[in-house]
Structure 1
Amino acid sequence: MTTNDEKKEFFNEDREFQNLVKKAKRKTILRNVIMTCVISPVLLFTLYFVGAWTMKNKIEKESHYEGAWNAIQGANIQSNGTVYNHQFLSATSTEDFVKKIGNVPIPWGKREKQYTFLGTSKLIVSLGASGSGSVNDERIYLYENGERAIEFFHPSIPFKNLYDDRNALEEMNDNKLVEFAFSFDQAYSIQEVSKMFNKDDLAWYWVDTFSKEDIEEYKKDMKEIQSDHTIYGDGAYGFVYNESDEGIGFIQSLEMAKKEGMYKETAQEIYDNLTNNGKIKLTSENLNIIGVVVTGEAKELKKYIDSPFIRAATLGATTDKY
């Protein structure tokens, strides 16, 4: 039989063993806590660093390709710079656009995008022209920040109504700064256009990026809706006038935009139209110019009132010289 002393000894040994187990558990817990405290910040920093690097690359890449796209889309519209607002796990970009009427910049909308640490992005705000009127109206004007938005007329499309706002120049103060979109009666080369206009008046060239299928689709749409289908300036493709460039920048920007980015499919389609699906080489000599944007003082632009090569003319933004 087990004596009382043996029982006490057994229980003492059992308590000592339990204490050792508890002590070992405390050490394990303490070690795990210490490891967690050391590893977690390192892990979080690593994840933050990778996320920040991914987001930075995303911003730089998209800004690069979208910059190329902005250089060809939008008649006489230029980026006025981008501001980035960085949060903990995301960033927001705000890009402002302007039109230059003479040398005076006029605000022309903005674009906001959001980027995340996961390498994704989405468009938040992209403000554009808006207007109001009835579908039965002969003409519905579009406005941006209270200014008129220009329209173009393709020379191969038989419009019912060809707008000509040039007479408005007679009613303006001679020193008023004005923007006009002139649509041509046919396609001209860059060199031919440069001889038609005073270089101080030229602001932007409208390039014919339409395929035969595009033209037929336009004609079909106009027939179905029984209304003219003009091309608004914000959606036109071309390039800013530069006496020494002559369309080279347009080609370079288009080739860049079709490589990557949210506009690459549209850029590729434009490139295919201009090269007849790769059958011809895209050079500035074979760019067809079907319209221009001119800006300047009203009194200076009056000289184009009777120009026979202008098929249609629409008034755009206006501002005071001083």
Structure 2
Amino acid sequence: MNKENEFLAKDFEFENLVKKARKRSIVKIVLISFVISLVVLFGLYFIGNRVMTTKMEKETSLDSTWNGVMGANIEERGTSFNYSLTSATAKTTLVKVVAGIPIPWGEQEKVFTILGTSRPISTTGPSGFGFSDDERIPMYYEGERVVEFFHPQVKYKQLFDDRKLLKVIDDNMVVEMAFSFDDGYSIEEVNEVFKEQLAWYWVDTFSKDQIENENKLNKVESFRDATIDGFHAYGFSYNRMAEAYSASNFISTLEKVKEDGGDYQEDAERIITNITNQGEIKLEPQNLKIIGVIVTGKPSDLIKFSEESMIRSATLGATINQY
């Protein structure tokens, strides 16, 4: 019996060795799993960060390109980037240049994530305050008046003419004013009249259907005339140093965005279709119809346009003391 018990007796030394080996194996598996997890996480983070950076570079470049054709007399003054662990924010500064003086015009912000998503986070825009029966409710942004345009083929209940304000604004100020025309004119015709104070051209990008719908709406008695504010007008800046290239740059921008324009591609296609009358005419500078302009200068500089027959409407924009 004693021999049998001795035969069945546990080998505690062997069991301890097995336990130690098992612990080492578990620790080894845990360490390997941890290292692999870190490698995978860092790999995914690196890929995600690369995707985010690539997307951010492309979209901010595209946004900048589109800002060159949308927004009346609005210019970019650089983009800054703020990075966090899983996202980045692009902030673009905008200005209006009135007779050579830059006026801050807000910022465009967009947030990008390592998941490959992006979204705009700027929520500010032009606004007006008043009552429904007011004759006019001016729009304001950044404490300044926002220019408004009137399409020459749309019949509005009322047209604004702020040229009378030029007589009461101090001549130490410089002002921005939007002129809407009674018809579409060539670039040469516009330059002949406004060249000295010209800052920006408003291009006719409307379709016949759009004009027809606007006219139908304006026949509704309860409908307040919908003007085109400066944020949503399409056109291009007057470049005194490279006058011949301004319209060509506008056209090349539209063509570029039409080919690979992301969120703006459909807009570019629509504008090109409307300008060319669905391909009946070529997309060339001489075929652009200019239906309005932005002019800037001292009130005394702009008063000379008070009797200009091609001007259908005039609205005041941003103003600033030139000193």
What is the TM-score normalised by the length of structure 2?
0.93
CA shift digits 1:218-274 (9 cap, x unpaired): 111222244322111111110111213241111122223332322222222112212
Residue 192 (structure 2) aligned to one of 190, 195, 210: 195
Any conservation in 2 of the 1:110–1:126 contact (CA below 8 Å)? no
Alpha-carbon separation, structure 2, partners of 1:161 and 1:17: 101
Any conservation in 2 of the 1:109–1:126 contact (CA below 8 Å)? no
Alpha-carbon separation, structure 2, partners of 1:4 and 1:244: 114
Q: Which moved more, 1:37-46 or 1:122-131?
A: 37-46
Alpha-carbon separation, structure 1, partners of 2:281 and 2:27: 73
SS at 1:48 equivalent:
helix
SS at 2:103 equivalent:
strand
Q: Which moved more, 1:20-29 or 1:238-247?
A: 20-29
Residue 98 (structure 2) aligned to one of 88, 98, 101: 101
Any conservation in 2 of the 1:66–1:261 contact (CA below 8 Å)? no
Alpha-carbon separation, structure 2, partners of 1:36 and 1:279: 66
Aligned to 2:300: 299
1:244 corresponds to which letter in structure 2? Answer: A
Alpha-carbon separation, structure 2, partners of 1:317 and 1:158: 26
Q: Tell me the percent identity.
A: 49
Alpha-carbon separation, structure 2, partners of 1:26 and 1:278: 77
Alpha-carbon separation, structure 1, partners of 2:79 and 2:9: 77
Residue 168, structure 1, aligned to residue 165, structure 2: yes
Residue 214, structure 1, aligned to residue 238, structure 2: no
1:213 corresponds to which letter in structure 2? Answer: D
Residue 2 (structure 2) aligned to one of 1, 4, 28: 4
Residue 142 (structure 1) aligned to one of 114, 139, 157: 139
Alpha-carbon separation, structure 2, partners of 1:157 and 1:282: 24
Aligned to 2:201: 205
Aligned to 1:257: 257
Aligned to 2:78: 81
**Runs of 5+ in structure 2 lacking a partner?**
none
Aligned to 2:272: 271
1:209 corresponds to which letter in structure 2? Answer: T
The alpha-carbon deviation at position 20 of structure 1 amounts to 4.1
Alpha-carbon separation, structure 1, partners of 2:224 and 2:141: 23
Aligned to 1:316: 317
Alpha-carbon separation, structure 2, partners of 1:254 and 1:126: 26
Any conservation in 2 of the 1:207–1:291 contact (CA below 8 Å)? yes
1:27 corresponds to which letter in structure 2? Answer: R
The alpha-carbon deviation at position 17 of structure 1 amounts to 5.0
Alpha-carbon separation, structure 2, partners of 1:74 and 1:182: 15
Any conservation in 1 of the 2:130–2:137 contact (CA below 8 Å)? yes
The alpha-carbon deviation at position 35 of structure 1 amounts to 1.3
Aligned to 1:153: 150
Aligned to 1:110: 107
1:255 corresponds to which letter in structure 2? Answer: E
Alpha-carbon separation, structure 2, partners of 1:303 and 1:79: 30
SS at 1:159 equivalent:
coil
Any conservation in 1 of the 2:144–2:319 contact (CA below 8 Å)? yes
Residue 63, structure 1, aligned to residue 64, structure 2: no
Alpha-carbon separation, structure 1, partners of 2:257 and 2:30: 52
- Give RMSD over aligned pairs: 1.6
CA shift digits 1:98-149 (9 cap, x unpaired): 1111111111122221110010011112321111111211111000121111
Alpha-carbon separation, structure 2, partners of 1:140 and 1:257: 35
2:275 corresponds to which letter in structure 1? Answer: L
2:247 corresponds to which letter in structure 1? Answer: G
CA shift digits 1:124-181 (9 cap, x unpaired): 1232111111121111100012111111111111222111111111112223101000
Alpha-carbon separation, structure 1, partners of 2:133 and 2:267: 32
Residue 29, structure 1, aligned to residue 30, structure 2: no
Alpha-carbon separation, structure 1, partners of 2:124 and 2:92: 11
Alpha-carbon separation, structure 1, partners of 2:167 and 2:194: 20
CA shift digits 1:280-321 (9 cap, x unpaired): 331111111000000111111111111111111111111001
CA 1:291–1:38: 2 relative to 1, 3 Å: same
Aligned residue-pair number? 318
Residue 237, structure 1, aligned to residue 243, structure 2: no
SS at 2:184 equivalent:
strand
**Runs of 5+ in structure 1 lacking a partner?**
none
The alpha-carbon deviation at position 202 of structure 1 amounts to 0.7
2:59 corresponds to which letter in structure 1? Answer: E
Any conservation in 1 of the 2:237–2:246 contact (CA below 8 Å)? no
SS at 1:107 equivalent:
strand
Q: Which moved more, 1:175-184 or 1:26-35?
A: 26-35
